[in-house]
Amino acid sequence: MSGRETTGPREIEVKPEPIAPPVSSGVSDWDRLERARKWLLHAEPAVSGQSGYARTFAVCAVITRGFDLDEASAFALLSSWNEACCPPWDVRTLKRTIREARANSRLALGNKLENRKQDSRSRHTAAGEYRS
């Protein structure tokens, strides 16, 4: 030995941190599900050959991140939307896309739950520049 005394392994308490702060507090689970269901009624279905995966990812991102729904709740809602897709996604692929959208989308968590008045004029110019 090198002359150093060892006292054994140190115990370190590790507390997992949440992925994101809870933004949906104050909005019930039922209300989030109902808002997401209504939003999906107007969502265009994915069509093969017409950026179908991109459309599916975007819709999954809004449902999982925008409405802050867990994967199981999102799958329950998206299953009916999926029936209108051409062709419909198989269960495994739809579940994977939901998981990937929840993990990788840049959409702000809970952004569809905010009750803010939207400015009637666009904040983006035709060139895509942001204006205040």
Q: Could you tell me if residue 9 is inside a domain? A: no
CA distances from 39 to 72, 128, 130 (A): 18, 25, 26
Q: Could you tell me if residue 42 is inside a domain? A: yes
78-104 as b/e, with b when 16 or more CB fall inside 10 Å? beebbeebeeebeeeebbebbeebbee
Q: Which helix (H) or strand (E) holds 60?
A: helix 52-61
Q: Could you tell me if residue 72 is inside a domain? A: yes
Domain that holds residue 70: 29-113
Residues 6+ apart with CB under 8 A from 75: 94, 95, 98
Q: Cα(67)–Cα(61) distance, rounded to whole angstroms?
A: 9
What's the pLDDT score for residue 10? 54
What's the pLDDT score for residue 114? 78
Q: Could you tell me if residue 49 is inside a domain? A: yes
* pLDDT tens over the chain, length 132 residues: 455 555 555 555 555 444 444 454 578 889 999 999 999 999 999 999 999 999 999 999 999 999 999 999 999 999 999 999 999 999 999 999 999 999 999 999 999 987 643 433 333 334 444 343
Please name the amino acid found at residue 59. V
Q: Could you tell me if residue 129 is inside a domain? A: no
Q: Could you tell me if residue 104 is inside a domain? A: yes
Q: Could you tell me if residue 2 is inside a domain? A: no
Q: Could you tell me if residue 13 is inside a domain? A: no
CB pairs under 8 A, 24+ apart, for 16-21?
20/109
How many folded domains does the chain comprise? 1
Q: What is the DSSP letter of 17?
A: P
pTM for this one?
0.69
